[in-house]
A and B are shown apart, each in its own frame.
Chain A
């Protein structure tokens, strides 16, 4: 009797638990809801505005947006693919695209008829898999430029024009290294290019540290390696060989991290992704300049009590300036619970309508030219000049843009290059050691 009562109670409890779970799950999979994930908190209000427009156009459909910080975002996303709790649509990054293509977790979007010419050049093509299918719709783009503390530049006697006409070379660093050296000040007030400069006790570094750059060096060494004429792989997209063993690459990296040995670039130990990224070093007055991406414009502008200027990346040995042009996309997951709704939402996200709305918030450059125009105007309204980011895309004579490397096994490339680059920067390992890492990488790619 008692035994049966216990069992009945247990059964009832179990039933109510599973019922509860089922109810919880169905919120995401109901046909009237589209779940959407993004990582940039700055962009959340803009996409909420887009969602409102979408819901008005599609009565009965609701968009549920979830925002997660960059690191948690990818951890949770990969876990969700495994657990089957993936969102319908998510913001995708080229760095991860190769792996997702390997794992076949993305839905081909060919039937959405993406018109590549409706977006800034190259943005749509990057999201084409090796199988020829389209896996993402362009949503925005960004480039990298030099952020600088205007007051520090002024007291160093460097004008905005001067900072916009710097050049570098791997032999003596050119006018760029001279400027960075002059912006560096030790604790006795001596500048980096003055006799008696104490490189071990630097008060303000000429350039903030953004870490060792992993496999892409997007905001660290890539403006230099690219303007020296180097590219990550043998082909623009889906290359089969990486080229970290190239002389051009290694001499550039050696020169770049050599700036830290001279005391101009903050040492690796000053960098911390969680506590002290470049924008914090600038805001704290510990560094005069930092390479960073367009997605950080409003963060730098919000630094209290510091006026920030932006300048082009320096001209390199090729005679051109180079900056990575990266674009995010919206992807639909292969097992999306609400594919029909996801399709509609992605179509709307990639439309000029939504991108103009996003642009008007002045936090990111949308992928369509009209969206970009709206963003430039919105930045201008806030008193921010974004020419250093937009001109490289428009002016093909003086600038070259390049993309993140897109290959198979991108997660392995990252896992191997990250410690190897840290070894060069933090432990003074010879750059020639990167040839060995490159060999390992190409071995994996050749499988």
Chain B
């Protein structure tokens, strides 16, 4: 009992902070989402409008487009980061000259703020002064302009995200790979399993919890990507890179559409939870059930 009470006392500051800065704001956003509220409207007060905002969102082409663009971005970015991150992790598991140096270099993008990453890539991608369009033109004869080509803008953002966040995946997977016991691998080799069989039947199942945790983190981060995109394209050209985070920002801040912007935030949070839950159920729950 004494230990239990002490535990709660020690936890109390954290719980208070979480409640004040996590739960209360969420409840407030939820409350606002059921209102029409724009402080620059003729009537600047909050007016309760029931589920109207939620009804409107279903027919909001701009929002649906932003969700579509975001889902595509998340899919390509996270999958790519997982694959590249795994191979890099495997590479870093082996010894080679300059390993420590490369590992440090490889981790550097992680410590850069997203807004800086966006700025640097903007400089690299601006026609006439950017190094990437310059060499793409000089070496391959390809004209790259993220101001006019939706494909170029979208692809650049995916590459930028991969460059920025793959090190996180690599580090997580290195930690998982290092902790694997040697016995199952030795046993599999004795039994004649090839590399592909070892990967699918031993390595992957054993690192699955780490993979899922990494995917969760990257998925949630990618779904709320704003800073880098804001700096690089501003959501353009057109609405080609108007991800849902950018859409919410524009709705809530410049448009000061607090009510509807809150509704979008709540719906996006709900979608994020559903996606993560689906991932959990498909990748980890069967494994846990078998254990039970």
A binds B: no
B residues near A (Cβ < 8 Å) are: none
A residues near B (Cβ < 8 Å) are: none
